[in-house]
């Protein structure tokens, strides 16, 4: 299967290609410093994470939670183990992840289902819906969030932790310039390899990645009243720390010092954040606006049809993306030119050798003809010498 076939197959329903890796690599929240920073932003306390904060604020235990795109299942296990939920149903499109989740759940009261969230028919009976880093992979946000609103009771809750920044990580010029500036402040050995997210590469790797991330909040607000909203930041720290192998390999003390520097810059940044934690109640009145519901449905279906027929590209290219693609294309063209120059040089070398050989043969022939004309006897003698088989002296 070619890359194009893979992408087309994945786009048909906007699901990740079967070989997508979700739990490898270095992310910004791989570091304890970042976890404390996130906790502080959510709960005001370095040691209280979003789940404990949610549990304390709501003061509730939930009977049954629907875990959207549950991946390897760590979220529902954590929620059950902390007594925040009694049971859960996890859905995810990747059979291997569901198998891992099932194996790790053991006897915990969790059921799993392999399903494409964009198309899944969620059953009723939940009093909590959990989205942890899931909605930014969902193309049919209106359909899914509307269904969440329908299935939750009035006092049910939707709780979210997610990337809500620009689609496909297409950061704006101002934010990206600032990321660049902070990167330059880091010692050379631990700087991020500074590459703007290249859209064609992202589409091949995982066409679900941040597909409509900046629509998550506005679409959530169509169907939910948000009770608590906390920005978790990330505009500077996420692009600088995620997949930064040099930082991961650095001496722990030095790394810790520079992560703190990056997080200070992240906290100071006032131009819009990438991650958020929030929860809210279903606004059932939204389900009675038949005209609006129909127009949102049509808008979403048309957008998705257009996106699929356009190879997963939904939006105009930003200036930075346009420049990035031109630069990449120019680099590919340069590499091709280098290869064809090397081929031409090798071919030239062959021709020169052949030419020299022919020239040498030509000179020998000419000498032989002159000798035959001037001294046939000597010529015969020479030829017999040349033809005499070589071998050991008798
Ligand atoms: C970033 S991971 C998060 C997983 C999990 N919530 C966690 O926090 O570990 C995104 C998950 O979305 C799943 N996913 C992507 N597109 C999906 C779809 N259309 N339907 C169901 N799951 C999907 C992936 O398989 C992956 O498990």
pLDDT tens per residue, range 350-361: 888 888 887 887
Cα separation of 130 and 330, whole Å?
A: 44
Whether the Cβ atoms of residue 130 and residue 66 lie closer than 8 Å to each other: yes
Q: Give yes or no for residue 137 CB within 6 A of ligand 1.
A: yes
High-pLDDT (> 90) share of the chain, %:
75
- Per residue in 34-60, pLDDT (tens digit) is 999 999 999 999 999 999 999 999 999
Choice among 120-124, 205-209, 384-388 with the minimum mean pLDDT? 384-388
Whole-model pTM: value is 0.84
The length of the chain is: 394
- 308 burial level (CB within 10 Å; 0-12, 13-18, 19+): middle
Looking only at Cα atoms, what is the longest distance across the chain? 119
Is residue 244 within 8 A of residue 190, CB to CB? The reply is yes
Whole-angstrom Cα distance, residue 222 to residue 365? Answer: 93
Mutate to test the pocket of ligand 1, among 69, 119, 312 (most ligand atoms within 8 A of CB): 69
pLDDT given at position 388? 65
Report the SS3 class of residue 17.
Answer: coil
CB 15 near ligand 1, within 6 Å: yes
Strand ranges for 164-273 from DSSP E: 224-233
Read off the pLDDT of residues 170-200 as tens digits, 9 standing for 90 and up.
999 999 999 999 999 999 999 999 899 999 9
Is 94 near ligand 1, meaning CB less than 6 Å away? yes
Backbone torsions φ then ψ of 21, nearest 5 degrees: -105, 115
Question: Mean pLDDT score of the chain, rounded to an integer?
Answer: 92
Query: 271 alpha carbon to ligand 1 midpoint, in Å?
Result: 28
- In the predicted structure, residue 267 carries a pLDDT above the cut 80: yes
CA 309 to chain centroid, in Å, comes to 21
Share of the chain above pLDDT 70, in %: 95
Is the minimum distance from the CB of 16 to ligand 1 under 6 angstroms?
A: yes
pLDDT at 392 over 80: no
Compute the distance between CA of residue 56 and CA of residue 100 in angstroms, rounded to an integer. Answer: 30
Mean pLDDT of the region 76-85: 98
Distance 140 CA to ligand 1 centre (A): 14
Q: What are phi and psi of 316, to 5 degrees?
A: -60, 145
* Nearest of 168, 176, 172, 274 to residue 231 by alpha carbon: 274
Q: Which of the residue ranges 7-21, 51-65, 69-83, 240-254 would you say has the lowest mean pLDDT?
A: 7-21
Q: Is 93's C-beta closer than 6 angstroms to any atom of ligand 1? A: yes
Higher pLDDT among residues 319 and 295, named by residue: 295
Could you tell me the pLDDT band of residue 365, with boundaries at 50, 70 and 90?
confident
Distance 26 CA to ligand 1 centre (A): 17
β-pair partners for 393: none
Q: Domain 3-315: give its CATH architecture.
A: 3-Layer(aba) Sandwich (3.40)
């Amino acid at each position: 299967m070619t890359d194009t076939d893979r992408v087309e197959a994945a786009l048909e329903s906007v699901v990740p290609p079967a070989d997508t890796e979700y739990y490898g690599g270095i992310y910004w929240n791989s570091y304890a410093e970042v976890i404390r920073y996130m906790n502080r932003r959510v709960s005001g306390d370095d040691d209280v994470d979003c789940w404990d904060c949610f549990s304390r604020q709501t003061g509730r235990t939930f009977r049954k939670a629907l875990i959207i795109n549950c991946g390897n299942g760590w979220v529902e296990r954590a929620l059950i183990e902390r007594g925040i939920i009694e049971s859960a149903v996890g859905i995810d499109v990747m059979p291997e992840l569901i198998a891992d989740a099932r194996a790790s759940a053991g006897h915990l009261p969790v059921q799993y289902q392999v399903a494409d969230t964009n198309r899944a028919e969620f059953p009723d009976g939940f009093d909590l819906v959990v989205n942890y880093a899931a909605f930014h992979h969902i193309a049919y946000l209106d359909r899914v969030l509307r269904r969440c609103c329908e299935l939750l009771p009035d006092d049910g809750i939707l709780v979210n932790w997610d990337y809500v920044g620009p689609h496909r990580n297409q950061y704006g010029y101002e934010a990206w310039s600032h990321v660049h500036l902070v990167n330059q402040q880091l010692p050379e050995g631990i700087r991020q390899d500074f590459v703007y997210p290249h859209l064609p590469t992202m589409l091949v790797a995982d066409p679900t990645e941040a597909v409509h991330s900046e629509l998550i909040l506005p679409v959530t607000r169509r169907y939910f009243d948000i009770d608590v909203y906390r920005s978790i930041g990330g505009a500077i720290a996420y692009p600088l720390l995620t997949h930064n192998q040099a930082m991961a390999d650095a001496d722990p003390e030095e790394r810790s010092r520079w992560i703190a520097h990056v997080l200070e810059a992240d906290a100071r940044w006032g131009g819009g954040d990438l991650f958020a934690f929030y929860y809210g109640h279903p606004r059932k009145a939204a389900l009675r606006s038949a005209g609006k519901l129909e127009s949102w449905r049509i808008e979403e279906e048309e957008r998705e049809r257009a996106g699929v027929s356009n190879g997963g590209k939904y939006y105009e290219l930003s200036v930075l993306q346009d420049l990035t693609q031109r630069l990449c294309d120019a680099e590919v063209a340069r590499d091709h030119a280098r290869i064809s120059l090397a081929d031409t040089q090798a071919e030239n070398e062959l021709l020169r050798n052949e030419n020299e050989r022919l020239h040498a043969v030509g000179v020998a022939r000419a000498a032989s003809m002159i000798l035959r004309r001037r001294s046939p006897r000597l010529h015969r003698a020479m030829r017999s010498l040349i033809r005499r088989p070589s071998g050991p002296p008798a």
